[in-house]
Amino acid sequence: MQIGRHDVRISNPDKLFFPDRGLTKGDLVAYYVDVAACVLPHLRRRPFHMKRFPNGVQGEFFHQKRVPPHPDFVDDHFVRFPSGHTTVFAVVDNAAALAWVINLGCIELHTWHSRVDDIEKPDYLLIDLDPTFDGQWPFVREIALVVKEVMDELGLASYPKTSGATGLHILAPIKPDLPFPEVRRFAKALAEEVERRVGDQEVATTTWRVADRRGVFVDFGQNARDRTIACAYSVRPTADARVSAPLDWAEVADVDPAAFTLETMRQRIADVGDPMNGMWRRRPSLLSRFAQLGLEAPA
């Protein structure tokens, strides 16, 4: 496959990756190449964690941090972990590199919250609304609007997207001037304020212990070093090839995540554009906002 100036070999393009939908590896590669302009702003300069499904969603999968031998158009970045272990991650900065990792069976696009320019400092804050039980999607939509309210008051632009699974992600781009523990501390206070405003543990909770939860988990814990999420426009390994879809806030109250799949996303982009277009242009610092949540500012 010729992508820009690069020739990318796609092996076994006719292999079924989503048997229930009759979708092949070639279909998956074609989707990502077609939406590359929307995907790449979320991938560029981030360590890319490979979760590989060599035989599609019904086969076994495995995680791979270290990038295998790769062509020149795929970048890489050395990372040292607190344990002392090291690895070299792929960095996906262009459409050819994107097609290359998809050919390896990476259905999902898992990326760090920081970029390689300053790996210890995230450039967005994440609140992950994660249902505890089936049937809590109406609560997720309700809580999301409270998260927006709190972020608005903090002067943080917020961008919602379906997780592509059962929940909703809300991202707030930030200036990468604080380390992960401080961003997590801020996110925890934000989540607790959301919990307080909802005022019903059967609806929204920040309870950490899973066995003690009843409501939707307002998860702040993803704001930690080397955690990853499936980024915007990532396909998820579900039978219906569901996609993590960026939303306009006006859509959230009535959104159905099942509407967004590999087969529907191209038309959605054509119809409504990219709700996350330009989100990385303005990234305010959290430093001056700690006091608004009753927190002591970082030293």
| Tens-digit pLDDT profile for residues 197-228 | 999 999 999 999 999 999 999 999 999 998 99
- Cα separation, 106 vs 49, in Å, equals 9
Low-confidence stretches of the chain (pLDDT < 50) are none
**Contact 158/145 with Cβ under 8 angstroms?**
no
Enumerate residues 6+ apart whose C-beta is below 8 A from 83.
none
| Tens-digit pLDDT profile for residues 107-141 | 999 999 999 999 999 999 999 999 999 999 999 99
Enumerate residues 6+ apart whose C-beta is below 8 A from 84.
none
Q: Please, how many CA atoms are within 13 Å of residue 190, restricted to the half-sphere of its CB?
A: 35
Helix (H, G, I), strand (E, B) or coil at 167: coil
**Contact 184/223 with Cβ under 8 angstroms?**
yes
- Cα separation, 206 vs 81, in Å, equals 28
**Contact 202/211 with Cβ under 8 angstroms?**
no
Q: Which two tokens stand for residue 90?
A: 């792929």
In this prediction, residue 299 carries a pLDDT of: 83
* β-strands 216-219, 204-205 pairing: parallel
Which uninterrupted H or E stretch holds 95? helix 95-103
In this prediction, residue 145 carries a pLDDT of: 98
> Distances from the Cα of 281 to the Cαs of 107, 112, 157, 173, 284, in angstroms?
28, 19, 11, 9, 10
In this prediction, residue 226 carries a pLDDT of: 85
- Cα separation, 168 vs 193, in Å, equals 18
The tokens 């450039």 sit on which residue? 123
In this prediction, residue 165 carries a pLDDT of: 86
Helix (H, G, I), strand (E, B) or coil at 88: strand
